[in-house]
Amino acid sequence: MRILAVNWRDIGDPLGGGAEQHLHHILAGAVAAGHEVELVCSAYEGAPAEDEIDGVRIRRHGDWRVANFLLPGMVRRRLREESWDLVLEDINKIPFYTPLYAGPVPVLAVVPHLFGRTIYRETNPLAATYVWAGEWPLPLVYRRAWFEVISPSTRDDLIARGLPADRIEVVYCGLEHDRFRLDAPPPRDEAPLVVCWSRLRRYKSNDVAVRAFGHIVREFPAATMKIMGRGPDEARLRRLTADLGLEGRVEFTGHLPWDELVTLLHRAHVFLNPSPKEGWGLTVIEANQCGVPVVASDRPGLRDSVRDGQTGRLVPYGDPRAMAQAALELLHDRDLWACYSEAARTWAASFSWPRCIDETLDLCARIVAASGGRA
């Protein structure tokens, strides 16, 4: 197959995240399987316009802020210049509407998750409406496209928007198990160590985790919290930490080197994820790989990655007291915590990138064959 992919960013972009990692695994896996792959994406400072990473040819163009206006032109040009079997579009922000100009080439849309109305938690009403309106035409524009989603929650979201269920397949993300294994893992901290790991953006609702930790400290005065990640909401979260009298108990670590991050997860007792919506919750599974139970919002995506009552607990979104209570039940009962920790490791072990890649390539081949092409 010759696959032409388009995404807002590539794996080398410093602003890239889980969506870029997921897509790169798929594209690099396709190259390893003998397929030709090219990715069209936005540029960033210091990056060449044309590049190659793990065999994936990359064409970078324009600023990411206007990628939805600039990149479709680049995709159209590449469709005219060469013959392609499949257009693979990663929809993790405003769509590029590739079915409008892909012509006879079939389209597979890979969707981690859609914002929907949660975008209004992140930005001003005007900008939020712009993003929400960008998602609105999906059922019309993509009615003949195929979809790969990373969780049943995202599948249900697409179906609720009017997209045909028989064109949507769930393919779970993988996990780089070796990156989370330590030959000699450190012992868990004696005092409870609570972690929160995500981009620090307002819509992620990390303030709920900070408030929950405030309740935990009342029962475990020696407890500490590490908030891992960067983002525009950091200043607000720091102010909240000060207002709650948690300075010295809560540390903002920023982006940690990988070995430090993994060591920290092996030391932690509970991971709090208060997000209102995730495509899947990859960090949940990564924490589970290190034996860390997760307390998370009972919301889309997290309902799929957290096995409630086994690998973690699901609590009502936006309720710091409920989040704290669920965490405290685990922290007070070491035997219960050990059962959750072991179940978490077993759950994480069931996910692999080779499986994700194989299932995705099988879907791609079926789509190409159905369109009359050759896989």
Amino acid at 137: P
Is the pLDDT score of 118 beyond 80?
Answer: no
Q: Average pLDDT of 244-259?
A: 94
- Domain assignments of the chain as residue spans, ordered by start: 2-174+352-370, 178-348
d(CA 274, CA 270): 13
Q: Which two tokens stand for residue 93?
A: 């922000």
Residue 197 is predicted with a pLDDT of 92
pLDDT tens string 312-333: 999 999 999 999 999 999 999 9
Q: Are strands 50-53 and 56-60 parallel, antiparallel or unpaired?
A: antiparallel
Q: Are strands 36-41 and 2-6 parallel, antiparallel or unpaired?
A: parallel
The secondary element (H helix, E strand) that includes residue 53 is strand 50-53
Residue 315 is predicted with a pLDDT of 98
Common-topology check for domains 2-174+352-370 and 178-348: yes
d(CA 238, CA 252): 8
Residue 304 is predicted with a pLDDT of 95
pLDDT tens string 70-79: 999 999 999 9
Is the pLDDT score of 375 beyond 70?
Answer: no
pLDDT tens string 155-210: 999 999 999 999 999 999 999 899 999 988 899 989 999 999 998 999 999 999 99
Mark out the alpha helices in the chain (DSSP H runs): 18-32, 67-81, 125-135, 138-141, 152-160, 177-180, 206-219, 234-243, 258-267, 282-289, 302-305, 320-332, 334-348, 353-370
The angle subtended at Cα 174 by Cα 323 and Cα 266, nearest 5°, is: 50
For domain 178-348, give the fold. Answer: Rossmann fold (3.40.50)
> CATH second-level architecture of 2-174+352-370?
3-Layer(aba) Sandwich (3.40)
